[in-house]
Structure 1
Amino acid sequence: MTGEHKQVTVLFMDIVGSMKLAAALDAERLREIVTDLFNRAAAVVQRYQGTVDTFTGDGLMALFGAPLALDDHPLRACIAALEIQSVVAELAAEVRTRDGASLQLRVGLNSGEVIVGEIGLGPGRYTAIGHSVGMAQRMEAAAPPGGVLCSYSTACLVEDATRLGPVERVSVKGADETVPARLLLAVESDRMVLGRNEGVMLGREAEMEQLSALWDDGAGLVGIVGVAGLGKSRLIGEFTAAGAQSGADVVVARCDAHTSVLPFRALARLLRAMFKVDGLSDADARRHAIEQCGDALANPQCPDAQILFDAMGIADADEPQPAVSFDGRRRRLVDVMLKAVLARRARMVFVLEDVHWIDTPSDDVLADFAAELGATTSMFVVTYRPEFRGVLHQRCVHSIVLKPLTDSEAARQVSQLLGAEASLDHLAGRIASAAAGNPFFAEEIVRDLAGRGVLAGSRGAYRLADVVSEIAVPATVQAVLAARIDRLPAGAKSMLNAAAVIGAHFDMDILLAVVPEVAPTSVVDLVSNEFIDQTRLVPQQRYCFRHPLVRTVAYESQLNANRARTHRILASAIALRDPGAADDNAALIAEHYEAAGELVEAYHWHMRVRILASAS
């Protein structure tokens, strides 16, 4: 059975007054307009790696986060929704001029869990089903013409990166009570999305000292490496604040997942930050950039100036493009950037965050720039996740690898988040254990508990308001981990899913017995991408999950039927692995048969456990 559980954001759009529009236009003209509309909207969805699920007669449904999970699916959906309204406004102006008719859209967004997979026969079978789909459609129906209405679940996930209207209560079909929603007004991509950099930085003193020492030594390119949530941005924030206080010229830019396929986007962002031109008109930005380059670009009409302006996205369209080859443009741009650095009086610190999302052309140019920067007193720092293998990673001579917080550091962080209320002591231990040293995971677990009403109060001053039945994986954390899992090769993902059914620790021979179709070498992908660690080599190779929440997400993403089948295969494999040890493994075998729904087999093995216990 194909399919899996996914955290997604569903986008619904619909033409306002489609019946009235159909009555006002010739059928062929209407078809032409609707086709153009859907083509433009679908192009926007695909640009942000969404999936067009279905077209209706006058609407469209799209998924963000399926079939491939996305860290930032709510933000991508928001950007796409606003951009769809923008491109439709352009089409609407054409329709108004040519046909005298009004064309408007409503767009609704909702985030939550769905089941995705192939349903039915024939092409276009991949779709999503679940309550979250219906709620997105209800948001679209309640949205104002030309507007984008977010369900409360989506709004909570993007509130740190968007401007939203006030909470309003809307009536939805099929619900007895109104539900909260917020209008999406704008996306502000310069605001932090992952992590909130709150509280005192804990457990990174050694890394801070190492980074400061590299700065003192004039190191060129430095990489800060770690999985999502370990505090790369927080470390950079502390370092750059100290650098700015000491008189350094700090330049910070960030790569975004939704722009990773746009050529030179990361380069443009870094250049605009370097020359501080954001908010200026193109003409003012060109003048401002020239002023900061000293004698290097005395003539704003020279080819090098035009190459720089083009890379920054501020070029004068009336100026002719320099007749220079691509490689020549690249070399000259790096040279101009270096001259601009040398023209500054202060030392410079360049920071490019989340380089695992950099576009390839930017990676090439900035790696060349970083290499040249090594001959100066300035420094280039990049942050990225372990799976990144781009040119900037290859050129990094100095790398600082972030590890999870120690148990004591994690406990201190959770105490900071919760506060000193005595009733929270037991909960603090459970949160620290679930987060396993990942500061972002701990933050999101606390936020989730507060959002569910389990905790009352505010950060650092919470009190227990309800019974804590479970420490669930927050949607934000699940999105990050699911996206990492989905980036694995198919064989490695199948192996990880099977391992999640086996347990936190597993032997290689049992794992291969459960997924015999997967090449044993797939385990290398899981180790190198820091999903699992090897804990024993002989007599059997044994592994464990590096983080308990990775196992939870891998397990819970599987359909119940698929998990049951794996439990059944696993129970049989354990029994056959060493028949002489069947008595010792009887309880474990019974547990897996029970999880598989094989109650007769489970009863047989449970009885075996009882007989053995009574005999002893």
Structure 2
Amino acid sequence: MVVFGVPRLHDDDAERGVRCGLAMQEAMAELNRELETELEVRVGINSGEAVVRTGDDGQFIVGDVVNVAARLQQNAEAGEVIVGPLTEQLTRAAIEYQRRASILAKGKTAPLRAFRTVRTTTVVPRQFRGVPGLRAPLIGRDRELQLMINTFSRVVEDRQAYLFTLLGAAGIGKSRLIEEGLRRIATDFSPHVRQGRCLPYGKGITYWPFIEIVRGDAAISLEDDRETAIAKLHQRLASLPIPAEQVRAVERRLAVVLGVEAADAAIPEVPAARVSAELAWAIRRHVEALAADKPVLVVVDDLQWADPAILELIQHVTQRSTSVPVLWMCVARPEFLEMHPQWGAGRSNTSLTTLNPLNPAETSTLISRLLEVEDIPPALHQRLLERSEGNPLFCEEFLRMMIDEGQLLHVEERWQAETGAEEIRVPESIQALLAARLDSLPDAQKQTLKAASIIGERFTADQIAALGGDIDPTATLDDLLGTGLVLEDLAAANGGSFRFKHLLVRDMAYSALSKKDRGDLHERFARHLESVTGDRADEYAEIIAHHADRAYLLSREMRLPGEAVRPRAQMALKWNLFLAERARSRDDWSVATDRIASARATIADLSDDNLGADRLRLRLLEADQCSYLDNYDGAVAAATEVIEQAGGIERWDLAASAQLCIARMEQLREPTSARNAERIAEAARLFRLAGDPVGELETQWLTVLSHLGYGMVSKTLGVGESVAERAATLNDPARAASWYSLLALFAAKAGKPQNAHRYIGRATTLMKQAGVRSATSVVHAQATLEMLSDGLEPAARQFQEAVAVEEHEGFATIFLQRSLAECLTRAGRLVEADAVLEDALKRSEETGELWNRSELFAKRAVVAVRRGELEEAERYLSQSLGTAVPDDVSAVTESSWALAELRAAQGRDDEADAAYRRITAVSLDYFDVLQEVDLSFARFLIGRGRGAEARPVLNRIEDWLDAAGYTSGRIEVAELRRRI
């Protein structure tokens, strides 16, 4: 005899028993083949309650359930596994049965119903969420279930990514439907299934569902230290069919998603504004690699709690995954659509369906199938229908409450309503019902549930034990499994994990805690997480911060004395500052803003503490926040305060970062400011004092860009190469590769193709070394070289492909579009050039970008002149002049060029002549631009019979082309000479 559920109860014990019986028959068949004999076994299985004793002196079990199991076994045929009716009811979703003749058993007045086991319907056991012992088949959801299956079938057939969203109120049956859908899809398609959930902790738990997905795929557990977690991630990615040149790039970005690496350390070559898109790319490549051998189903639960970054990421991935069978199945409550009414709108690869309440007939069927009893008193039955409002969870929990209170009895394998059950009060809501159930539990069980509610939907006995108390959580959780309020978490990587049957149960348990108890437990759990996560605490920072924040805020609400509030405030401040700084490195200002506000409120309670450094960290964050919001005065004021006070506590790193913050803002406003050059030099000095070579490199690169603003490209190349090479020697190949690729572009435009090719080679080598994935900056330089060698059509294709790649990944394309427009203009494709410039200007205005704005307006004015649209050209010229900074040589040159062409077209030759000559007097190393200006000037002069003045201009163009080895424009120069 084998007994399941002793000494520990599981919600799938019945299924385990049936699977064991089938395995015994298979083992017997194998044994017969080995021994060449014919031994046979009969198996009988029954479920129910029994009296059990276990101990050192053996085990003892007695009860009717044992007697019935023996009768079933005695009446089974050889090689047969037969089960009783309750076992069949509990396992019918996972086991296929055939009804067999009833059994006449000794001591039983009525025949025993029995079922022959045919086969399992799933390879591994599935976890079920319904009331233990009262599990009904899915009722009233056939249409939605078929829609899920058909959608996945379409994904498989079309090999495309698809976004499917299921909405439904709490308790309406979303999880049950998803469970059944996964079971059916697994049977029909055998996909990879990955699951993650959004946490109800407010804002800031940004990437948690994807953290769960990546951890689960790489088998990373909480017990792993940081090095082990990184090693497991590396090993898993190496096993997937990701292109070799992309593996390192994907790994570095997923390390940022997991939180084991900071963005500025793992991907230093990526600007903060691009980090979110880079992480989305890595997640997409990871999921696409999973889909290489078979389709993928990704489930993201509780989407109503998702941060905006998660929603953008999901939509990004589903839009950009092509030719891969991946279904993203998102589950949310109805308020999600109220907050995001445009979710999935206007896209062909998305659909959304709402799970409505069951109608009265379906609810009646559910009740009947849960109990297989039809004799609930009509008055009680009607009140249950009315109160449940078609909510399956309400029905299940109400029936469970009746069982617990002895109003429904299990008699002769059936559930029967006790006399007087029609007088039972039916609670008004599911919340009231759950509160009543929780209140009826023994104290130890109630305390365990309350402690678990602090932790969240999923928890372990060790975590509950860490919260203190005088209860044994292991024993109490075993008892709670029998109530159906808590289930084993079979989805957890390790055993010993549990979860609430429904989040509403967790919510009711949490609401039963006093504020004082909540605050104490939140603090204990935050400190427990700090302790057990060790060197991976940063990975769990959002969760630790949530508990620290709750502990602090609750102590404030209760107006606890300062000695009680202070340690909580210190812990909350620590993690809020850390998370704000991490969000800043990702340019995630929605999260950073919330964390800054929390830190600001917390620091007020610590005014008497020694908080010099933390206060300045907060002010520096506020300075960067003002910079992000284009609040120049606010940024300067906050950063200046940091600069003035950081020296007093010898925090040179904070002073240097504050100087750098102001310098970056000045660079955008006045890129050639002498005052800013001094500020950059001071920031470099402070970074040296702080021992931060990377920070010093950043200031040196700002100096490189300052030279560029002056139009001194030759000096830019000399200084820039030195800075880039220093980054490489400091073991920062990613940053060095990024800078070398930009230098290649500058060199190409300056007429130094040999330098450009050398920089491209160096950048490519460093990219491979660092695992840098994106080479569009290199393509930009290569296309520019092609354009200046008269390969206008190939260059245009390269530019267009690079723009498409950046758009596909959700990155900024303005600088690339500026070069594309120049190439199209040279090729005479003016309509296309105008469309590119229009789109680039729209993006510039939407993002607040100013670096390219004046030049874009100027180029559009030139295109408009050549198309004969002089009024439009005048408008664009005005906008170009209005956005040009006087010391920005590039902007002044291109706006003056537009002015010259427009005035020439208008017949205002003197003004045109003066504008042309103003440009030639400017020192500008961007010879490609000067070449175009000189060609325009030569056309103007020759068109007015001033050939003698045009000759030196043409000579200047040819000298530059000879020196550079470029061919672009030579044919037109020869044609213009013939016209003189």
Structure 1-normalised TM-score?
0.42
Higher strand share goes to which structure?
1
Higher relative contact order, chain-length normalized (CA < 8 Å, sep 6+): 1
Greater Rg, structure 1 or structure 2? 2
Relative to total residues, which structure has the larger helix share, 1 or 2?
A: 2
